[in-house]
Structure 1
Amino acid sequence: MKSISENFTKIIKGIALGSVVFIGVSSCSSRDDKSEDLNNSAKATLNFNIVGIENAGGVSASASVDKQGSTLGGSSVITKENTVSLKDFDVLTSMEKVGGLGTIASSAGMNGAQAATQPMTSGVKYLIQVYVAGTTTSPVVNTVATAGVDPSITVPAGQSYDWYVFSTNDGTAPVINNGVISSSTIANKDVLYAKSAAPVTVQSGQNDLAVSFRRNTVRVDVNVDARGLFGKIDNTTTVELGTGTGGSFASVVKSGDLNIFTGAYTNIQAVPALVSGSNMVNTVGAQGDAGAIKTASFYTVDASTNSIPANLSVRLSTLGVNMDDNSLRTFTGASVAYTNTAITPVIGTQYLLNARMIESGVQVGSTVWARTNLFYAGYATDKYRFHPTNEYTIAEVLNLGVDPLLPLLQLGGQAFNVTNEYWNWRSLTPGGAPNSGDPCALVQPAGKWRMPLSSEFTSLGTNSNSNNTDAPLIGGARMASVWNLTSGTADLSYPMTSRNLFVPLFGYRTSDGQSILDSPGSLLTAVLANGSSYYWAGDANSGAPYFHYRAYTAAVTLPVLGSLVAVWGPAGVHTTSTTTLTQILNVGVPVLTKANPVTSSNVGLNIRCVRS
């Protein structure tokens, strides 16, 4: 029989052995739990889902800004439309405040985001930085991502973080040094900013963060509208925003160093900012042809008192316009002045300067005439246009009766639809119903041109200051009456024949729309040439519309007989009830008349518009 002490010893040893086994199992289990936590941490991801840019440039009926800088959508007029006359063209100017952006965009936590109105363009770069909550050094994440591919970023689980996302809305991501983005890298750029509204605690597995950017600048758009110049804006164009003109011009665009944690700027200074035509964009919602209206965007970080000064100026050191005939017309040295009062902006708001161009005219007496004839461009959105030049001819395709002088074959070959050159009286399309409206009033900008009055034609007198004849060997000839300017100087930006009042002789279109008669032609280079001009006035006498008429007739006898007869008839105003028109008068030859072919408002004549 064993003693009690021996039994007690065995019990103690058993307990000890059991304890060792238990401790071993417990330790093993503890190690397994830690391993599982680490593995779960490695699998914790932040999915940054880029929703877009809040209220990015939307224009609606009205706008307002509260004291904190939050904005309600819409736009409001700051400066009503005003006409600014420049050397080469006139400009209709106006200024608006566009619905801006609210406070800094953020995500309150998982799956939280403010509404965005514009998606970020695919391919745009942005930078993500993630910090342990409450810290501003040693970011846990510092990565560049690309719009269109939402990044998934691995971080340890069970930890709280602050995150920040930045972009300049282009193909280059910002560079951050010690929590600061340098002024030089964001000058005149569309700085977009988003951050977490509060620390985000990351759980194991997938963590979705919806990100909406806000604009962290004041944006000023300049809409350059070249529809009234009858072309599209070329890449040679340059646009600047500032104050003053010439040598006193100073940029109002400012940049500064951006603190990524606060979103605030320091070391704010003015910077040069020039937007080229290649960096302008087709204006959203523009009604004209693509390229006729383009927007240059400027971004300033200064939101101090009156930081948008009074009397802004848009400088167009070069304005290149691609014309309908594929020529490039270049205007230089234009500064467009605005009459706005000073503005204290809020970061995230947006302003719009409109610059609607009007082609300058040529002034004879008190009337400002268009430089070229009106035509209907069926291929264009803005169909009521002036020709880019007067240097073209319109010969009759087949005319065997050029007035009563000689039968003559004339050849055409026009590059445009010639019938769109001839209008029924006060019709809204060349062959449209007579007296249905003023087609000149539909030239862009609408309402700035009109048909001339008969009295304005009469004021030109019966003789022009000079005449132009350009007769080829055979076919269409360019002939025109030319009246000199009585105010201003010839504008060298326009073609030679558009620098004075150059009125070509293009004949008329018959009322059935089938023939063009009395347009200039020649045979054997000035041996024989003749033609007439017919232009509608906008008024009538007892229901009979007025028109302006002038004829040219030339004949050269054989050299052995030796004399030239080249006669311009008197310029004058007639009506559709006139019976005869004078061709040659008091030049040593018999008076020559012909029957008036313009006997109804359905006969197609040319139109030369005047300023309203």
Structure 2
Amino acid sequence: MQNKNKLICTLLLIGGCIGSISSCSSREDGGTTEPDGKIVLNISPNIIEDEIITLANTETKSGSSVLQNSVITKEQMSYGNDFDALVEITASSGKLSNAAASLDNKAIAAANPRMGNGISYVVRIFQDNAGSRGAQIGSDYTFTVGGTPPKITVDGGTKYQWYAFSSNEATVPATMIAAGKSVIDAPVSSNKDILYASGTISTVSGNNYLDINFKHMTTRIDVNIDSKGMFVPMSGNSDATANIGTYNGTTFTGIITQQTFDLGTGSFYGGAAPIQSDKALDSQVYSSKVVSFYSSSGVFIPSGNTLKVKLTNMEFREFNNVLHKFNRVSYVTLPQSSSKLLGTNFKYNVNVRLIQSAVNVGGVLWARNDISYEGSNSYNVPNTRINGFDGFQPIGNLSPTTYYWSWNALTNTGTPNSSTYNSAQDPCVQLYPVDTWRMPTELEAKTLTTRTPNNFRSGWVAYASFPNNANFGVTFNHTAGANTPEYGSARSELYIQYNGYRPVNYTPNENSPYSNSITGWTYNAKSTPISSYPDTVGMFWTKDPGAAAGTAKAFVWRALFSNNGVENTASFPAGNIQDIDKRTGLNIRCVRSVAAPNT
């Protein structure tokens, strides 16, 4: 009997049991036939992951290219007021699974990619009327991967037709499996990962195995959002959403489409209507999130600057759990040099690496805060970062081993570069994403030191319970773009805080407020004239070496204190460029590597 079964299986395989069709048979482990001639079909589900072909593009009738290459749009910068982003579009490459089941191998499904546990799917069995699909046998059979072993009882020695479908979710929507319904209506299939498989089976005595190889019927686009360049994780706010489409505002039109899906033919039909509704971001607090979109037809991407990722109510969480929410719609542009068509049944990635927007002052794009070297965290945010959201620290909190750097040293306690500037040792260059920021030049620093500040900040210590909290600095307004209050009042413009400096020979393990480790600063500066204070200084490295050996250029501001008999006052003379010993610990205010203005 087993030899006969093998012969039957071989004939079936030759007869075309390929693609999404998997035959059933009695495998070599034997089995029993029910007394009434019934047999049991053992169901084994599997998903075919299509391979992306890295060859020339194929042409459509309209002349557009159906892209199947791994790189579609090279990464480039998109500028915005809320945040900037490095964006690219890629195609996911994957190994094509074995769609044709080996009929005499009882471990057939184990060699193929499996469906994940908890995914539900529906199987329908039909009479085979001389090659035509006849009446349905039994009811809809709904199974869940990882649950009760899926089995269907049918007649032995009979040929059947079948198809199976799923939305690749834990529950198949009730509207998708309405009794007797042979189509999935467009609103029901909207933005769903429709899985489908069909074929014929010929049952034999003993155990029979039906291996269902599902295929993705939609075009999948994953919008991968990364916030490591914001240097904080995204929060889990429930109203944060994303979409992808063309134009913005009231003219925004989604590029994801919906159509009715015919279960009989395994294809979408009818007009493809754009899906306008946004999709929610997940609720986890982390530096990366994925929003998946499923289109019933190939996705057309126009040329120019019309393609946008729409981000609504993006919220970021500081490490002390303070939230900063951009309570509006923000758009990230994905420029395209030519129009493209993303083919169906493939997966594509739209990668959006969010970056803190810079402050444009005189054409130079400045970071919103100094860089610091922080401890590790559970959100996968790099240790070296720009605290663009965190409020400016009072001097009592500025650790000499966190906020101060020797010249051209990769870490805050690293050895200074004794030679000429090396970009590989520039801590700004190493900020995520690499090569987005760098140390400023002397010329760029002069654009600030020779510029009249728009505001001065004198933060005297007001309460005895908050000693060491004095802070002073200058503010420069945007000369292009708009301020962004979500970063905090001080950082909505360019605020330069005077933080003193770490001397060459400092006290490494001194306790706060670091009076010996950070000098040139007044720790307890009160407005009441109870004493006099030394002048305050802010010092920041440039990338240029100094005229004297062992020095580098720094831009320096001072705050001069005086006492008029009633109160202490502070004046702010213009800054200048000075040669400073490279071993000194100064603050670093980065600039963008490419000074393209924000829009």
Task: Tell me if both proteins adopt one fold, taking TM over 0.5 as the criterion.
Answer: yes
**What's 1:330 paired with?**
325
Partner of 1:278, secondary structure, is coil
2:318/2:389 contact within 8 Å kept:
no
**What's 1:579 paired with?**
none
1:132/1:140 contact within 8 Å kept:
no
**What's 1:601 paired with?**
582
TM-superposed CA distance for 1:430, in Å, is: 0.5
- What is the rounded CA distance, in whole Å, between the counterparts of 1:242 and 1:458 in structure 2? 42
Stretch of structure 1 that moved more, 476-485 or 564-573: 564-573
1:110/1:209 contact within 8 Å kept:
no
Distance 1:521 1:119, change over 3 A: farther
**What's 1:398 paired with?**
none
- What is the rounded CA distance, in whole Å, between the counterparts of 1:387 and 1:430 in structure 2? 15
Letter in 2 for 1:120: M
TM-superposed CA distance for 1:183, in Å, is: 2.0
**What's 2:170 paired with?**
171
- What is the rounded CA distance, in whole Å, between the counterparts of 1:102 and 1:278 in structure 2? 29
2:394/2:468 contact within 8 Å kept:
no
- What is the rounded CA distance, in whole Å, between the counterparts of 2:387 and 2:33 in structure 1? 78
Show the 5 A alignment for 1:374-393.
374-380=371-377, 381=380, 382-389=382-389, 391-393=391-393
Stretch of structure 1 that moved more, 115-124 or 161-170: 115-124
Q: Deviations over 1:134-190 (max 9, x none)?
A: 424323352111112341222221211222221111122141543222222221011
Measured on the aligned residues, the alpha-carbon RMSD in Å equals 3.2
**What's 2:143 paired with?**
145
Please say if 1:491 is aligned against 2:484.
yes
Decide which structure has the larger Cα Rg and report it.
Answer: 1
Greater relative contact order (Cα < 8 A, sep 6+): 2
Letter in 2 for 1:216: M
Show the 5 A alignment for 1:97-116.
97-99=91-93
Show the 5 A alignment for 1:192-591.
192-196=195-199, 199-235=200-236, 236-270=239-273, 271-278=275-282, 291-303=286-298, 307-310=300-303, 311-331=306-326, 332-340=328-336, 341-380=338-377, 381=380, 382-389=382-389, 391-395=391-395, 412=396, 414=397, 419-435=401-417, 437-461=425-449, 464-472=453-461, 473=463, 474-512=467-505, 514=508, 515-527=517-529, 531-542=536-547, 543=549, 544-556=551-563, 561-562=565-566, 564-576=568-580
Distance 1:75 1:329, change over 3 A: farther
TM-superposed CA distance for 1:300, in Å, is: 0.8
TM-superposed CA distance for 1:217, in Å, is: 0.5
Please say if 1:161 is aligned against 2:160.
yes
Partner of 2:321, secondary structure, is coil
Distance 1:390 1:205, change over 3 A: closer
Distance 1:526 1:333, change over 3 A: farther
Distance 1:476 1:190, change over 3 A: same
2:324/2:389 contact within 8 Å kept:
no
Letter in 2 for 1:180: V
Find 1:135's aligned residue among 129, 133, 136. 133
TM-superposed CA distance for 1:107, in Å, is: 5.1
TM-superposed CA distance for 1:476, in Å, is: 2.2
Q: Deviations over 1:392-429 (max 9, x none)?
A: 3343xxxxxxxxxxxxxxxx3x3x86521111111111
Distance 1:54 1:541, change over 3 A: same
Distance 1:125 1:243, change over 3 A: same
- What is the rounded CA distance, in whole Å, between the counterparts of 1:263 and 1:346 in structure 2? 17
Distance 1:390 1:522, change over 3 A: farther
**What's 1:89 paired with?**
83
Question: Identity of aligned pairs, percent?
Answer: 27
1:64/1:99 contact within 8 Å kept:
no
Q: Deviations over 1:373-405 (max 9, x none)?
A: 11112314422211134633343xxxxxxxxxx
- What is the rounded CA distance, in whole Å, between the counterparts of 2:445 and 2:528 in structure 1? 29
1:273/1:298 contact within 8 Å kept:
no
- What is the rounded CA distance, in whole Å, between the counterparts of 1:118 and 1:532 in structure 2? 63
Distance 1:97 1:47, change over 3 A: same
2:318/2:390 contact within 8 Å kept:
no
- What is the rounded CA distance, in whole Å, between the counterparts of 1:322 and 1:122 in structure 2? 32
Partner of 2:486, secondary structure, is coil
Q: Deviations over 1:254-300 (max 9, x none)?
A: 12222223211123432334111127x9xxxxxxxx82122211111
Distance 1:307 1:106, change over 3 A: farther
Distance 1:250 1:105, change over 3 A: farther
Partner of 2:428, secondary structure, is helix
TM-superposed CA distance for 1:575, in Å, is: 0.7
Distance 1:147 1:138, change over 3 A: same
TM-superposed CA distance for 1:246, in Å, is: 0.8
Distance 1:337 1:569, change over 3 A: closer
- What is the rounded CA distance, in whole Å, between the counterparts of 2:111 and 2:192 in structure 1? 20
TM-superposed CA distance for 1:301, in Å, is: 1.0
Stretch of structure 1 that moved more, 134-143 or 466-475: 134-143
